[in-house]
Amino acid sequence: MNHFHVTLRSALQVRRRGQPLLLLLDYDGTLVEIAPRPELAQPAPELLELLGRLAARGDMRLMVVSGRPLSDLQGLLPVSSLDFVASHGGEIFIGGRLHPLPLDPAADQELSPWRNLLVARLQNFPGWWIEDKPQGFALHYRQVPEEHAFEFIGILERWRERLRQDGGFQLLAGKKVQKYYRVESVRVRQ
C-alpha cells in the first residue's frame, strides 16, 4: 500500500485545481489477490476503510472496473460513492444510477450451443467452472490439476478453433480464464 499512497499523493499534486481525479481500480489482482475461486477473493476491512476515505474526498472519484457482475462488486465493496463498470462493460453504475446499455438478446442464444458443447467436452475434468455473464460466459480453469492440463488445453484449443471458424465471437483471455462474447455485442458496448 505504501507505493499506492506515494503515487496517489503525486497524482493529486499535479492535477489541475477544480477537476476531480478519477481513480480506476480493478478488483481481482489489484484491490484483492487473485483467489482459487472468485467468491474467495474478499476485500480486507482496511481496504474498505481506505476506499471509504478516498471516496469521501471531494477532489476524487473512484471507479472499479471488472469482469465481475455489478451485484457481486456492490456486495463486496459496500462503499458509498463508488462507481462501477462491471461485466466487462456490460453494466455501468455511475453517480448512484445504473446506466443500461443496449444488449443484443440474440447474443446469448447464439453462444449457448457453443457453451453447451464446451461443457460436454470438459465434463470429465475436475477444477473448472463456467461463469455466465451478460452477452457471454467465462471459463475458469485455474484449478484443473496439472496431470490433466495438457489434455484439457488440447480439447479447449480444438473447441476454440471450431468457434473461430464459425466467426462472430471474441475471446478475452486472462490468467487461466477465457471469456467469450459475440463480436456484435462487444461492439455495442464500446
Neighbours of 39 (CB within 10 A): 9
Upper half-sphere CA count for residue 162 (Cβ side, 13 Å): 12
Q: Among residues 26, 59, 132, 166, which one is catalytic?
A: 26
Cβ–Cβ under 8 Å, residues 74 and 87: no
* DSSP state string for 47-116: HHHHHHHHHH-TTEEEEEE-SS-HHHHHHH---TTEEEEEGGGTEEEETTEE------HHHHHHHHHHHH
CA distance 87 to 136: 10
Residue 166 annotated in active site: no
Instruction: Give the three cell numbers for residue 150.
Output: 495438457
CA distance 146 to 49: 39
Cβ–Cβ under 8 Å, residues 52 and 11: no
As annotated, the active-site residues are 26
